[in-house]
Structure 1
């Protein structure tokens, strides 16, 4: 890895493989959370965990290649995630107010 003056010294010595393993682990935990949980809030947090795993990987590749393009992508992903949080939490709160439940199995009864 090429030395870079903008990156702290400790980060320069962490191999890219460690970032890949951590990001994959976080992404798998998010997938398991989405597929196995029934609570809308936990599913929402699992989706956010998957987005953060992708962000970590983009930052790691950006740092490894000394290319700021990955950091720009992360900025846009974080902006979209913030909008998703605002809209998603508003929907979850409205569902909870109407049904007093955040279980996604219960939402099946909202069909016509």
Structure 2
């Protein structure tokens, strides 16, 4: 049963990595990073449930990680909105300079 969770987490992580490396839209890149983080959370919960000594440690780390991800998403969207207002695009190829 653990192998099915790990397989699903590996698929989610690979999809997120593919999206983060190939897509040009900054919002899609941010969503892909969140998908990779959720794959890690799935691994933490699976190892917590099916570990040698089942404990709640992995689930506590997952809850902390979800809280950090929510804050990261809020800050990321705020930065993207500011960049869109300043440059008029969300294409990551256009963000090659710090100052314009």
Which TM-score tier does this pair reach, normalised by the shorter chain? over 0.9
1:77 matched residue in structure 2: 65
Distance 1:35 1:64 in 2: 32
Q: Where in structure 2 are the equivalents of 1:2-81 lying within 5 Å?
A: 15-65=1-51, 66-81=54-69
- Structure of greater Rg: 1
Output one character per residue of 1:65-87: Cα deviation in whole Å (capped at 9) or x when no partner.
Answer: 32100001101111110110111
Displacement of 1:62? 0.7
Which consecutive segments of 4 or more residues in structure 1 shift more than 2 A? Answer: 109-112
Distance 1:42 1:68 in 2: 32
Give the superposed CA RMSD. 1.2
Distance 2:72 2:97 in 1: 24
TM-score of the aligned structures, taking structure 2 as reference length: 0.92
Displacement of 1:98? 1.4
Structure 1 spans left out of the alignment, 5+ residues: 1-14
Alignment size in residue pairs:
98
